[in-house]
Amino acid sequence: MSLASFLKKLSVPFFTGGFMIAGTSALGLCTVYTDAAIIALVGGGFLARELIGYAKYNGKEKLNGKTVVITGCNTGIGFETAKDLAQRGARIIMACRDMERCEAAASKIKDIVNSNNVICKKLDLSSFESIRAFCDEFNRTEARLDILINNAGVMMCPRMLTKDGLEMQLGTNHFGHFLLTNLLLDKLKASRPSRIVAVSSRAHTRTQGINFDDINSEKSYEKMTAYSQSKLANILHVKELTRRLEGTGVTAYALHPGVVATELPRHIALANNPIILFLTAPLRYILLKTPLEGAQTTLACALNPAWETISGKYYSDCKEKEPSLPAQDAEAAKRLWDVSVEITEGKRTFKTSA
Ligand SMILES: NC(=O)c1ccc[n+]([C@@H]2O[C@H](COP(=O)([O-])OP(=O)(O)OC[C@H]3O[C@@H](n4cnc5c(N)ncnc54)[C@H](OP(=O)(O)O)[C@@H]3O)[C@@H](O)[C@H]2O)c1
């Protein structure tokens, strides 16, 4: 552990301890017993975190000569994934929508890896035009694609539309990645054995199936439901990819990264309230994974040699896990594929303003 991350870990319990000491002193209760209780609490916080012991991917695979595309990797889980894979020698294409943030993240990785193989490319998954432009250039200029990591995500935003008139969460998290994957498939097939990794979520269990009757949430919109639908769609996409790619040497994986302290709740007012953040700091420290811990299952899906021929499964904490029943529905996976083709090929269009 680096000094900086050690100090960061230390700061929360110390801060909490200080807060409690101040409180108890003010009440005239700062006896030797309360001090002991505080030490026990702070130590307990540390211990609880160590005991939870989040799963770590320990594989030592090297990726020299391999190319990886990671979407939305200027921050959060994607950034830690990119950093790890760059350290293994891969050529990393950081596919991000905000080039300033992407360049800043790439330079942090280059500081550690000292490599010219960390490259920023513009990709806005809420625009089919942007996805097509990214893939056109990638297919023209890159020799191979060994691992595609569909990581980018937006969660619980108010009802917003993509450039193509799609509800933002299903539009970005599923339809954007669907088009991206299809346009990169030939390169993946030519680079076999190759992998497609979809960062889904346990949130997929909160919905009973894809709402094909209102695929664009035009009749009703509920932000958590829309997120759950998009994460269910990620797993169904992997399921149908597996069926279609059988025998090609391209395998597909879906995963839940855990509950991770990232920028994902940026649209949830409560999660960004400074008072709530202050009061919940110790609990968040214990219960939330760090982005590095959150990246471990993605790394396992991208790298684990034992899973090279196993396609279409769902993973959590670096282990296979059974997804919800709706996520195992082969008919729904096929139907979603057909609808996704219609939409991404422009055979079915939506109004681009509300
Ligand atoms: N954090 C959790 O607890 C958790 C739990 C389960 C699943 N997940 C999944 O994990 C994945 C990574 O999320 P995270 O937690 O690391 O969140 P994050 O820190 O918010 O990172 C999300 C990334 O996606 C990018 N992105 C959003 N919309 C995009 C678009 N239209 N085009 C291109 N990139 C876009 C963001 O770019 P900008 O910086 O430009 O916005 C950012 O780089 C997501 O798929 C999420 O659903 C996270």
| CB 12 within 8 Å of CB 49 | no
pLDDT of residue 354: 64
pLDDT of residue 52: 72
Ordered by where they begin, the domains of the chain are 3-52 (no CATH), 67-344 (3.40.50.720)
pLDDT of residue 282: 87
| CB 162 within 8 Å of CB 349 | no
Where is pLDDT greater, at 47 or 173? Answer: 173
User: Is 263 close to ligand 1, i.e. is its CB under 6 Å away?
Assistant: yes
Q: Give the max Cα distance, the chain.
A: 73
Rounded Cα distance between 103 and 98, Å, is 9
**Which residues lie below 8 Å from residue 113, measured CB to CB, with a gap of 6+?**
83, 86, 87
- CA 201–ligand 1 middle distance (angstroms): 11
3-class DSSP state of 255: strand
Rounded Cα distance between 325 and 165, Å, is 30
- CA 101–ligand 1 middle distance (angstroms): 13
- CA 72–ligand 1 middle distance (angstroms): 6
Mean pLDDT of 251-278: 94
Residue nearest to atom 25 of ligand 1 (CA): 72
Confidence of residue 38 (pLDDT cuts 50, 70, 90): low
User: What single-letter amino acid sits at 24?
Assistant: T
Mean pLDDT of 287-312: 97
pLDDT of residue 353: 80
Residue nearest to atom 7 of ligand 1 (CA): 201
Mean pLDDT of 140-147: 98
Average pLDDT over the chain, rounded to whole? 91
Mean pLDDT of 271-284: 90
CA of 265, closest atom in ligand 1: 20
Annotated catalytic residue 33: no
Nearest 5 degrees, angle CA 11-CA 15-CA 21?
Answer: 145
CA of 230, closest atom in ligand 1: 47
- CA 222–ligand 1 middle distance (angstroms): 19
* DSSP secondary structure string for all residues of 304-344: -GGGTT--SEEEETTEEE---SGGG-HHHHHHHHHHHHHHH
- CA 150–ligand 1 middle distance (angstroms): 10
62: which 2 tokens? Answer: 């090297």
pLDDT of residue 18: 47
User: Is 154 close to ligand 1, i.e. is its CB under 6 Å away?
Assistant: yes
119: which 2 tokens? Answer: 């490259």
CA of 266, closest atom in ligand 1: 20
| CB 209 within 8 Å of CB 329 | yes
User: Is 98 close to ligand 1, i.e. is its CB under 6 Å away?
Assistant: yes
pLDDT of residue 32: 65
pLDDT of residue 115: 86
User: Is 151 close to ligand 1, i.e. is its CB under 6 Å away?
Assistant: yes
| Alpha-carbon dihedral sign for residues 177, 183, 186, 187 | negative
User: Is 78 close to ligand 1, i.e. is its CB under 6 Å away?
Assistant: yes
Instruction: Report the 10 Å Cβ neighbour count for 134.
Output: 23
69 pairs with which residues across the strands?
A: 93, 148
User: What single-letter amino acid sits at 197?
Assistant: V
Nearest 5 degrees, angle CA 113-CA 297-CA 252?
Answer: 100
Rounded Cα distance between 198 and 276, Å, is 31
Mean pLDDT of 297-313: 98
The 10s digit of each residue's pLDDT in 81-136 is: 999 999 999 999 999 999 999 999 999 999 999 889 999 999 999 999 999 999 99
Residue nearest to atom 8 of ligand 1 (CA): 201
* pTM given for the model: 0.90
Mutation test residue for ligand 1: of 54, 70, 75, 229, the one with most atoms within 8 Å of CB: 75
Mean pLDDT of 218-229: 97
CA of 288, closest atom in ligand 1: 3
CA of 172, closest atom in ligand 1: 31
3-class DSSP state of 297: helix
pLDDT of residue 3: 37
User: Is 125 close to ligand 1, i.e. is its CB under 6 Å away?
Assistant: yes
User: Is 316 close to ligand 1, i.e. is its CB under 6 Å away?
Assistant: no
Q: What are phi and psi of 219, to 5 degrees?
A: -80, -40
105: which 2 tokens? Answer: 């993240």
Q: Which one is catalytic: 57, 221, 227, 315? A: 227
Mean pLDDT of 157-168: 98
